[in-house]
Structures are given as C-alpha cells and as structure tokens.
Structure 1
Amino acid sequence: MPRWPYLLCFLLICGLAQAQSLYLHSPQGPLRGGVNEALGVGYFLGIPYAQAERWKAPLPASGWTAVREARYFGNACPQRGVFTTRLGGYLPPQSEDCLNLNVWMPLAAPPAGGWSVMVWIHGGSFTGGGSGEPVYDGSRLAAGGAVVVSLNYRLGPLGWLTLPALQAEDPQGSVGNYGLLDQLEALRWVQRNIRAFGGNPQNVTVFGQSAGGMSVCDLLASPKSGGLIHKAIVMSGGCTFVRKLEEDFTFGAEWAQAMGCPGADLACLRQVPLSQMYPPEGSVLANVVQRVEAGGFERSPWKPHLDGAVLDKVPLQALKEGRAAGIPLLAGGTQQELWGELLSAPGDWTSFEVRAEKVLAGKGKAARALYQRLYPERPREAWAYFQTERTLLCPSLEAARVQGEWALSYGYLVSYRSSVFPDLGSFHGIELPLLFGTQNTWPAQAIFLSAQAYEDSLPISRELQRRWLEFARVGEPGWLPYDSGKLLEMGSELKITDNPYQERCGLFR
C-alpha cells in the first residue's frame, strides 16, 4: 500500500493539534486525544469498543458524529480490587459500561504499511485490574515505534460465570467466557480501526502478563481468533489455566444462591446490584462469597472455560496440534514469581516431599530429589522455587517449547531485583514498570525509590523495550529460538544465557 495516505493523515492530525489536544477521525467518529510532547506520542483513551448486557456476548460499540473526548481513561470493570490497588494504586471508577480501550501512537509518519501494533491484556487473576492502571501507560513503547493498545475486559462473576441456563440461551452454546469474548471483540476493533491511528492491522502482537499472559494462550487457541493475531508474548502466564464446565456448573448454582437467586434464576441475577456481586472486603457478604469462592487462584472458577465454542481444547494441547501455526511466540517469567511462599514454606525435606506429592501426584519423591540436589540444606527456598516453576514459569516456557514446532519461538527469564528491596526477589510483575518505562508510577515507584536504583534501571528498561518492539515488528527479538537451549536473561543487565530449566520443567510436563 502506498505511504502517502498515512503521511497525509499524520499531517492533518498535526495541523489540528492545539493546546495539548489531538484530533483524529476514526471509523467510529471524531476523537479528541492528547499529546505527550516530550516523547512525541499522541494518545486516545477510553474509546468504547463494545457494549454488552450481563452474561451476553459483546456487540461492537456504535459510532458518533460529534467530537468525542478521549483524553481520560474510561471506566474500569467491576471488581474487588487487586494487590496494586490495595497498595494505593490508581484505578478509574468502576461500571458495567467498561468495555473501552486506549491507543498510543507515534507522532511521526508511519513506515510503509503502518506501525506494528501491540495489544496489551492486563493481569489480575481474571478478577481485578484494568487498562487504566498507571503502570501500563503505553507512551514509551509507542515512542519506540509502535501503536500500543490496551483494553478492559469483564472480570470475576461478570466475566466467567457458568450456568446451564446461560449456555442454553446462547446461540452458539458458549458460556463462562465473557471476558475472553471481550478480548476477541477488542481485536476485531483493531482490525476495523487501527489504520486511522497509523497502525498495520496485518502486524498485530498480543501481549499480556499473569492472567493477561494466560489470556494470550487462550486467544491463540480459540477457533474464533483466526486472522486477528500475528505474533504473541506470554509473560508469567501459561496455557493450561482453563476450567471444565461440569466442575463449575455446581459452583455457579452455589454462587447464585449466595446472591439471593435460588435456582440460578437469570432474571434475578441480572438485577443483583454490583455492591452485592462485588462486596467490600471484610463485609459479612464478602465473607459469604469468599467461602463460596474458596480455593485460591489455581482452583478459582473465575477463569476461561472449555465451552466447546470459544475454547474447544486446553490451549496447550491446541498449540501442540498447530492451532497457532505460523505465529511467532515469546514467552517466559520471573525467577521468583512466588517468593512470598517463603513465609509458609516447609522447613524440612520430608515436609517438602509431602507437599509436593499433594500438587504433583506420583512425583513427590522425584521433586524432592531434584530440588534437594539443586538447593541442599535450603528446603524453604527450594519450595518457593518449586512453586514458582510449577505454577507460572515452567507453564510459560512450555508454551515456547510447544509452539517452537510450528513457528519461531523464544524464551526469557527475569532475574532483576530491586536494589532498594532485594529480599523481595524477582517477584511476579517486577518487569512491568521496566517494560512500560513507568518506574515513577505508584506503587511500582517503591522499588525504584533511590535515585541510584532508578538510574540503574533505565538502560535495562530501554533494552527490554527495544527487544519487545523488535519482536512486534519482525517476529525476532534478537536472540536464538527456544529450541537452541538459550534464553534472554534480564537481571542487572540483559544477556543471553543457557536455559537452566529444562530438567525442572520436564518434571511438571
């Protein structure tokens, strides 16, 4: 496609920019965005991409004719909060009208075909978080030469409830995947609209961390995602975190009862106020709901489901069978994802083996032998590594291993520690402010409190951004594929290292 249409669009935008405002005519209608002059980036926030009734598939958002304000984040989806918000992190006001997204774009003429597009899916255990969290600001990635999109999707019971009655009323028999349907609709929005922002709809990279990384796996595996994704990045996620309908239909009925809707009455459930559905922590109702939802993240029913329509196979199996053939993948995690396990870790190897057997039936002895060899005299530390690798790190690397049969696939490891709080280790999510260049946002700011810690982080942050941007642009981040036995390690510097996890990850396979 000739370059001049993009250049013309760019000149028109610049000609209309005034007083920190940026005007753009999207296929939906005209938008008024903002300008980050220091970085040479324009942004449009809170753009509605879909609308949805409770437990219904989303429909594309309607258009508008008057200029729409897009300088502020839209509503967050209803939730009971995540760790960052409990530490005082910002989250926009919550509303069921929350299916909005944000776009950051370079204020420069796009290359031929348009900028590569990076679509971010936030984490939060499928129950919390939002695209408006300051740590996810896409300005610095966009300044590196990409159009960056972030999106909200339905969370908790509004995103993942399963009931036979809900399945029966859906034309395709889909149920329990409303949040995933939202993500798919956002990707369709990208296909329809992103050229107006200078992006290339034929070069879309989906990337996400934690539940967002798991969502990337689900999207790759979904039969509904054809043509929507061209590259993918799984950060501290994995491709096995899905639920079966039969194990959650009973739970759904119990949850409906707790909401005061016996018999899982849909009309009743659709009238339940959000304050009841997402009760404040510590309230009597919250304790009731917590008992219904008990079991921790691994057993939580608030996850994507194998409904036979949106997801017809465990994503890892779908990848093994070539469902995402030809889509380059970058995957990895942090060295100490679950370092908090130290607080309750077993103090001896016999207890280690007993606990390992509970989560790895038939492999308790093998796990003890392996980790005792790796961490002699340190059973507590070994348990924290065991949980890290079993739960998040190895599932992410396994996605890279499996996808390597069908496309270029790369692995990475985060070993970076805060020099301010080194005892926290390379905890779950520590790389996010480095990737987005948002070290000065709260609560990420806490781990870069000293001037030296912040200065030391800058070259790592810039190099990490460069690698992710290069992968999004051409599908190769600058190191050897996963099957070479090499990983990119992000510590006090970025370096290529031998993969130390092949034996350990084999234990969990």
Structure 2
Amino acid sequence: MKLLSPTLLLTFPALILAFPSVTIDAGTIHGGKCKDGKNAVYYKGVPFAEPPVGKLRFEPPKVYSGKYANGALNATAPAATCIQFGDAMVPPGTKSEDCLYLNVWTPANATKTSKLPVRIWVYGGSDMSGGIDYSLYDGCSIADAGSIFVSINYRLGPLGFMALHSAGIYGNQGIQDLLLGLDWVQREISAFGGDPEKVVLTGQSAGATDVYTVATLPQAPSLFKSAIVESIALPSLLTNSTVQQTGASYARTLRCSIRDKPCLQSKTTADLQSAVDSDRLLHTGLGALDGLGVLNRNTPHFWPYVDGTVVSENPATRGIQVPTIFGYNQREGMMDTLTKYDTTKAVAALTAADYTSFLRGNWGSAAHIIQKYYPLSLFESATNGSTSLAVLFAISSVITDSEFKCSGYQSAVQATRKNVSAWIYEFTHNSTCTWLDTMPQSAISIFGAAHTAEIPYVFGNLDFDFPTQNTTCTGSQLEWNLSKEMMSLWTAMAESAKPSTGDISWPAFKVTPKGLNTPGMIFGNSSTPGTIDFSACKFWAQVYAMVDASNATATAVPSSSSAKSSGTPTNGAAIIFPTTMMFAAWWLFLIVASMVV
C-alpha cells in the first residue's frame, strides 16, 4: 500500500494542497490529475480488502477495515496487479497476491453532493489474466464526460476460482472479490461525488460472465441498478463435479494431498503458475482444445460455478435481477482464430481436416451437424475458392455464434421470461486503428469487429500510441462521434437503467419468431436502431444439449499428470487475445488475404 510519508506531509503542504483529495472512513486519499486537457482526476490503488495472502489464500476476501498510516493514502500510482495465469491484456508493473485494490476516476469539479452516475468495470482475460491498470481501461475520458468510473481488481486462475471441498477450499473467490468491491462502492462512492443509486456494472468477455453471474444473485439490486454485458462467453457455469475434479488434479500436480490446504497455501506463486501449464487435465476433454477451445459446463478450467452458497443457482436459469444490455461483436471469433494460426505458413496449410478437428475437439459427436450447418462451401464462395481461407473464416464464424452471439441472446431471452428489461447490440464497426499493442496496423482489415474491438469506444480511448510498434494512430472523426454516442448510452444506463438519450432511442429486446428480426442497436459507422438475426441460436441450443448429454455419460478423463503440456498455460477456451509474439508475419498474410473478395 502506498502511504504518504510524514516528512512529505509536513514539508510540502503546498504540494499536498495541489493533490485532488477525498476523505473516507479510512483516511484521506490523495490522487492525481488526468492529462491531455481532460478535466478529470483519479485515485489509484485504493484498498477494499485485506491482502489475501498466507492463510487467507483461497479464502473469501476480508473487508479492509484499517486506517491509512498517518491518515493519508498516496493514490497517484497503480497498486500491484493480481498474479497472472495467462498473457492476455496484462498491465505492466508489479504482480502480487496482495492485489485487492480499485481505481476511481471523477470529474475534477465533483463534490460529495454531485450525485453523479457511476460506471464500474470488470476486465476480461478468461479469469486467468488481466487487471485494472491495462492502458485501454484508463477512465479519464469517462470522467471528463461527467461520470464517476470505478474498476475493481479480482483474483484470477486458481487463486480466484479453484474449488476443492476436501481441502476446505470452496471456490468463487474472484466473484466474492467483486462483491466486496461493489459493497465498497455503495459505502464510499458518495465521497467521490457518485450516487450509489445510479450504478451500472459492466464487464467484457470473462468479465461479462462474472458480471452476469453477480447480476443474477439476490443481492444484486442492492449493489447496482443495471448491468452491461459485453461479449459474454458462457452464461451457464461449470458443474460442481468438473470444478472438484479440476481442483484435485491441480493439487496433485502441485504434489499436495487433495485434503492439504496448508500445502497448497505454502506453494510459491511461481509454483502455482507452473502447475497450470503442466496439469494435463486443463488441456483435456471437449472445449479444452489448446488455442481454439470453446468452454462448456464440463470443460476443466478455473471459472465460476454453482457452489450452493455464493452462487446458489445456475445463472443461466435464474436470470438477471436488474435491467441489462447484452452485446457481441460481428467477428468475435477472428481474435481466437488468428491467435492460433498466426503465420502465413499456418494459414496457408489449413485444410478441411483442420476444420473437422476443431469441431470434434469442441463438440465431439455433434461435430457433424455443425459441419452441415456451417459447410466450408458457404465460406469458399467468399474466398475465391481458397480452402485455407474458408477454414479460417468458418472457424471464426462458429466461435462467434456459439460462444458469444448466442450466449448473449439466450441470456436476454431468459431476462424477458423473468420480466426484467433487456437490450441487445451488435458491434460491426471496422476500426481505423488497431486497439491492442500486439496487433500491427497492417492487419486491421483482417480482424474487423473482433473480440475486444468495442472497448476503445466505450472508454473514449481512440488515441493509440504503441511504442513497441513505433506507431501512432488516431481514430477518425466518425469514430470519435461513435465513441461519444456509445459513452452517452452506457452512462444513460447508469443514470436511469435505460440506454436511451435525447438523440438515440434504443429499442427494448423482445423474442421474435425463430430469432429473426430481433430489435436492437447496431454500432457501425453510427449508433443505429435495427434488427439482428439470431436464428442460429436455436441450432446452438440443440448442440449444447447434445454435448451436455454426452458429457453426462462420458468416461472420466485422467485425474492428474505432471507431464508438461505442449499447449498454452490456459485452457483453450480462454485464449481469446493475441500474445506478445503474435503477428510476426502478418504483413505476409495480407498477401494471402487479398484473395478475399
């Protein structure tokens, strides 16, 4: 924790007065000022829980109830990021188990009587990686536009989602971290100028699944009034048997008894990270296809589950308890696909057999009906007959529909069954600038509206400066306008639990025959009310029913192994972001891609 020293406080009173500051029960928090002409301030690294270390590892978080030393907290620099078990969108700087901190941005002129709307962010990363201090999540633009913005760190991987009842480890620690952070917002946000009655909880990807899970809990309406779910990956959580089997295998990989919590608590974080890579079970079974896996309820992974206490019912059947926006990006699956096939040689070598292997690795005996619904011939017509490119786009389309588009749709359908208001969107805009520092500008047209593409627009962060690429790119005026519209709609959701403004009316979601002509919002070159075709989602509901039935009778997979997996450190379904080494030969791939008409 970063405390202001007594010497600094006594020697430089003028400097202290220059700090923006807020006083809460724990003491006075001194923050910093946003740059680039933004009339906003920030407070970074504010503790909301005791450090979950030592005997508190794997335990529910304990509320931070202390006082800041000398009555002051230096909140001008980020706190540590939680221990990482993947490499997706990882903030720079220190990684530590002592990571339960949050960031707050406010308009510079906000006071405790301002009662401003509050937007809360839950980052994605497959619940294996990520953090609040990733550059794309900077809240200065949101605060400059007149809202309070809060982002909450939560524990990841086995530290945040491991369950092993035989050892007294009950899982969903990361979900409980978020609940405690939300409780902090309710208690303290008024001091920053926020209104605890005007809070929207927003998450993306795995963060969207976590937000959806929290939004289905009985206490949700007391913690926030609405939610926004961007690119939800799996609304139906893992089964208890899958989670227990995963925990047992992981314990054995660490050479601990499945009843020995002290052994598990004694391991170094490096041990924990290495075991995720070497535990064979995490790379076994349907949906665990390294690089291109699509999670199902029985895929071994560190993920939320129905524990009967924190999460008492399956969120997919209980449904949300607050008004919610659900949305997806037009080409979600392209991020997965281009992460797996990241060289010209890999793309050119793709065959129909690779497509079949992808389908079988994720859906088993249901693969043949998927192949009939998404035949390669459907994609070859758009690629001048190129089989390799057809495979690339077919895999991308299958991932988009099965994992993201239909997850959001089914969640919205369940909301209407519970008489809870819902809205839906499709993000279709092809950005001028790349938005991730691992993605070269030359590849932008290939990705299209891929996974994560909407994030810069809802944050108002369209100035991209990537030193690693020695490139700077600024969004077009059209894109800045689109961003302004999306930001205003997201803020309206916090303000009134309805995503409409004086300029834009967002039609409410309703179930239509066969999912055709579903009313929603299309974010293309502008924000346009329209209709979206969800007719494929009935098909995917049937597929997952087949997979669940197959899993119910399947032979158990091997329980553990210390053999090194050749795959990536996270379950394949979690690999939804480019890695640092990705795209080395994408300029060559563009030659191949030029065949697309």
TM over 0.5: yes
Classify the secondary structure of the residue corresponding to 2:266: coil
Alignment of 1:251-290 (within 5 A): 251-279=246-274, 287-289=277-279
1:68 pairs with one of 68, 73, 97: 73
Could you say which residue in structure 1 is the equivalent of 2:43? 44
Classify the secondary structure of the residue corresponding to 1:205: strand
Separation in structure 1 between the aligned mates of residue 227 and residue 469 of structure 2, nearest angstrom: 30
Q: Deviations over 1:184-226 (max 9, x none)?
A: 0001111111111111112211001001100111101224535
Classify the secondary structure of the residue corresponding to 1:243: coil
The question of 1:144 aligning with 2:166 is answered no
Residues 103 and 150 of structure 1 are in contact (CA less than 8 Å); yes or no, is this contact kept in structure 2? yes
> Which stretch has the larger CA shift, 263-272 or 347-356?
347-356
> How far did 1:73 drift?
1.2
Separation in structure 2 between the aligned mates of residue 265 and residue 39 of structure 1, nearest angstrom: 52
Residues 103 and 148 of structure 1 are in contact (CA less than 8 Å); yes or no, is this contact kept in structure 2? yes
- Please tell me the residue identity of whatever aligns with 2:282: E
| Compared CA separation, residues 23 and 309, structure 1 to 2 (3 A) | same
Alignment of 1:177-196 (within 5 A): 177-196=172-191
> How far did 1:256 drift?
1.1
> Which stretch has the larger CA shift, 334-343 or 153-162?
334-343
Could you say which residue in structure 1 is the equivalent of 2:308? 308
Separation in structure 2 between the aligned mates of residue 258 and residue 350 of structure 1, nearest angstrom: 31
The question of 1:59 aligning with 2:92 is answered no
Separation in structure 1 between the aligned mates of residue 478 and residue 469 of structure 2, nearest angstrom: 15
| Compared CA separation, residues 256 and 358, structure 1 to 2 (3 A) | closer
The question of 1:293 aligning with 2:263 is answered no
> How far did 1:385 drift?
1.1
Separation in structure 1 between the aligned mates of residue 521 and residue 508 of structure 2, nearest angstrom: 10
Could you say which residue in structure 2 is the equivalent of 1:498? 531
Separation in structure 1 between the aligned mates of residue 361 and residue 34 of structure 2, nearest angstrom: 53
Classify the secondary structure of the residue corresponding to 2:196: strand
Separation in structure 2 between the aligned mates of residue 184 and residue 498 of structure 1, nearest angstrom: 35
> How far did 1:123 drift?
0.5
Residues 61 and 176 of structure 2 are in contact (CA less than 8 Å); yes or no, is this contact kept in structure 1? yes
Residues 124 and 203 of structure 2 are in contact (CA less than 8 Å); yes or no, is this contact kept in structure 1? yes
Classify the secondary structure of the residue corresponding to 1:64: coil
Classify the secondary structure of the residue corresponding to 1:470: helix
> How far did 1:372 drift?
7.2
Show structure 1 runs of 5+ residues with no match: 1-14, 170-174, 280-284
The question of 1:481 aligning with 2:481 is answered no
1:202 pairs with one of 194, 197, 202: 197
Separation in structure 2 between the aligned mates of residue 111 and residue 412 of structure 1, nearest angstrom: 34
Classify the secondary structure of the residue corresponding to 1:95: coil
The question of 1:387 aligning with 2:402 is answered no
- Please tell me the residue identity of whatever aligns with 1:396: G
Could you say which residue in structure 1 is the equivalent of 2:591? none
Separation in structure 1 between the aligned mates of residue 364 and residue 82 of structure 2, nearest angstrom: 35
Could you say which residue in structure 1 is the equivalent of 2:22? 24
Could you say which residue in structure 2 is the equivalent of 1:408? 421
Residues 217 and 239 of structure 1 are in contact (CA less than 8 Å); yes or no, is this contact kept in structure 2? no
> How far did 1:164 drift?
1.7
- Please tell me the residue identity of whatever aligns with 2:185: V
> Which stretch has the larger CA shift, 260-269 or 194-203?
260-269
Separation in structure 1 between the aligned mates of residue 326 and residue 466 of structure 2, nearest angstrom: 25
Separation in structure 2 between the aligned mates of residue 374 and residue 447 of structure 1, nearest angstrom: 39
| Compared CA separation, residues 507 and 487, structure 1 to 2 (3 A) | same
Could you say which residue in structure 2 is the equivalent of 1:418? 431
The question of 1:242 aligning with 2:237 is answered yes
| Compared CA separation, residues 107 and 491, structure 1 to 2 (3 A) | same
TM-score, length-scaled by structure 1: 0.84
> How far did 1:91 drift?
2.6
Residues 241 and 303 of structure 1 are in contact (CA less than 8 Å); yes or no, is this contact kept in structure 2? no
1:429 pairs with one of 441, 449, 452: 452
| Compared CA separation, residues 432 and 498, structure 1 to 2 (3 A) | same
> How far did 1:239 drift?
5.0
Residues 164 and 258 of structure 2 are in contact (CA less than 8 Å); yes or no, is this contact kept in structure 1? no
Separation in structure 2 between the aligned mates of residue 271 and residue 349 of structure 1, nearest angstrom: 45
Residues 239 and 315 of structure 1 are in contact (CA less than 8 Å); yes or no, is this contact kept in structure 2? no
Alignment of 1:72-221 (within 5 A): 72-85=77-90, 90-109=91-110, 114-167=115-168, 175-221=170-216
Separation in structure 1 between the aligned mates of residue 525 and residue 16 of structure 2, nearest angstrom: 41
- Please tell me the residue identity of whatever aligns with 2:424: G
Among all aligned residue pairs of Structure 1 and Structure 2, give the percentage whose two residues are the same amino acid: 25
> How far did 1:67 drift?
1.1
Separation in structure 2 between the aligned mates of residue 394 and residue 498 of structure 1, nearest angstrom: 15
| Compared CA separation, residues 155 and 211, structure 1 to 2 (3 A) | same
Separation in structure 2 between the aligned mates of residue 263 and residue 383 of structure 1, nearest angstrom: 38
Residues 418 and 448 of structure 1 are in contact (CA less than 8 Å); yes or no, is this contact kept in structure 2? no
Separation in structure 2 between the aligned mates of residue 317 and residue 117 of structure 1, nearest angstrom: 28
- Please tell me the residue identity of whatever aligns with 1:409: A
Could you say which residue in structure 1 is the equivalent of 2:337? 341
Q: Higher relative CO (CA 8 A, sep ≥ 6), structure 1 or 2?
A: 2
Separation in structure 2 between the aligned mates of residue 259 and residue 353 of structure 1, nearest angstrom: 31
Alignment of 1:326-337 (within 5 A): 327-337=322-332
Separation in structure 1 between the aligned mates of residue 119 and residue 74 of structure 2, nearest angstrom: 23
Classify the secondary structure of the residue corresponding to 1:278: helix
| Compared CA separation, residues 465 and 76, structure 1 to 2 (3 A) | same
Separation in structure 2 between the aligned mates of residue 353 and residue 96 of structure 1, nearest angstrom: 38
Could you say which residue in structure 1 is the equivalent of 2:488? 466
> How far did 1:241 drift?
4.5
> How far did 1:264 drift?
4.2
Residues 147 and 198 of structure 1 are in contact (CA less than 8 Å); yes or no, is this contact kept in structure 2? yes
| Compared CA separation, residues 347 and 492, structure 1 to 2 (3 A) | farther
| Compared CA separation, residues 164 and 69, structure 1 to 2 (3 A) | same
- Please tell me the residue identity of whatever aligns with 1:482: F
| Compared CA separation, residues 356 and 494, structure 1 to 2 (3 A) | farther
Separation in structure 2 between the aligned mates of residue 266 and residue 176 of structure 1, nearest angstrom: 13
Residues 256 and 264 of structure 1 are in contact (CA less than 8 Å); yes or no, is this contact kept in structure 2? no
Cα-Cα RMSD:
3.1
Classify the secondary structure of the residue corresponding to 1:59: coil
Separation in structure 1 between the aligned mates of residue 59 and residue 427 of structure 2, nearest angstrom: 39
| Compared CA separation, residues 492 and 374, structure 1 to 2 (3 A) | farther
| Compared CA separation, residues 431 and 354, structure 1 to 2 (3 A) | closer
